[in-house]
Amino acid sequence: MTAPISETLKSEIKILTFDQYGTIVDMQKGLTEMVTPFLQGKRWGGNPHQFVTWWRRTHFEDSMIDSLIDRGHTTYRQIGHRAVSQVLSRANIEYTQSEVEWLVSGIENLKPFPDILTNLKRLHQNYKLSILSNGDRDMLEAAKGYIGFNFDLTISVQEAGAFKPDKRTYSKAEEIISSNFKGIERTNILFVANHAFDCIGAKAWGFRTVFIDRRRRPFGKSPHQPDLIVKDFNELADVLAHA
């Protein structure tokens, strides 16, 4: 990250578009806190953190398969039900469908990382702020009250009929953003995510990108490198907020 890059971003970026799950809200911590008493009640002796990791990884794999086979979009909630059922079976835990549905519904109640709200307010002084999420429309709507910030626009990949990083999701997001805000073009959009795959997909489409490196992991050697890599939202706001 260099000063000239940040100055270029400041001059050209008009809207920041954020991934929600894992970038705005803390999925790993929130879901681990939720499943811990549930798993204790099931007398499961494993690690709840690992259970959530299995859950999220299975969900991600299944959503990628859904986009790749391109036989019609399966909702995020349905993918979630399948993933949780698979992980419960993997852990040899007996369960009911209502328990599966309850666990997945917990995604709607996740809270933001502690550095989110203050810095979103800082950034909102200079930029429009939006969400582009793999979540279903109704799930994103339900989550708004738990996040506690009024984004200018919330976009579900349901509009595109595919999960990120399918190029259709970024294309549809660009279309929706441009129709809602006059004068915003592709190069004016800065996509922000905690996931390398999401940044790669957005950059390949033509958005500017920021990788939030909370987990201190190498981004990798993709040709679609982010314009900025920051450790958290404090650093993001420090770089992008105008004086």
Round to whole Å and give the CA distance between 172 and 151.
18
Last residue of a domain, one of 80, 109, 138: 109
- Tokens representing 72 are 């019609």
Quick one: 8 and 125 in the same domain?
Answer: yes
Quick one: 137 and 229 in the same domain?
Answer: yes
Q: Can you give the pLDDT at residue 2?
A: 42
Quick one: 170 and 63 in the same domain?
Answer: no
| Residue range 201-218: mean pLDDT, rounded | 96
Quick one: 127 and 207 in the same domain?
Answer: yes
Last residue of a domain, one of 89, 109, 129: 109
Quick one: 55 and 16 in the same domain?
Answer: no
Number of domains in the chain: 2
Last residue of a domain, one of 67, 84, 109: 109
Quick one: 104 and 202 in the same domain?
Answer: no
Q: Can you give the pLDDT at residue 8?
A: 76
Q: What is the pLDDT of residues 171-180, one digit of tens each?
A: 999 999 999 9
> What is the per-residue DSSP string for 59-120?
HHHHHHHHHHHTSSPPPHHHHHHHHHHHHHHHTT----HHHHHHHHHGGGGPPBPTTHHHHH
Quick one: 65 and 135 in the same domain?
Answer: no
> Tell me, what CATH number does 211's domain have?
3.40.50.1000
Q: Can you give the pLDDT at residue 181?
A: 97
- Tokens representing 153 are 């626009």
Quick one: 35 and 70 in the same domain?
Answer: yes
Quick one: 82 and 174 in the same domain?
Answer: no
> Tell me, what CATH number does 54's domain have?
1.10.150
The domain of 161 spans: 3-26+110-240
Quick one: 44 and 164 in the same domain?
Answer: no
Quick one: 138 and 231 in the same domain?
Answer: yes
Round to whole Å and give the CA distance between 128 and 14.
6
The fraction of the chain above a pLDDT of 70, given in percent, is: 97
- What pTM value is reported for the model? 0.95
Round to whole Å and give the CA distance between 153 and 98.
32
| Residue range 97-106: mean pLDDT, rounded | 98
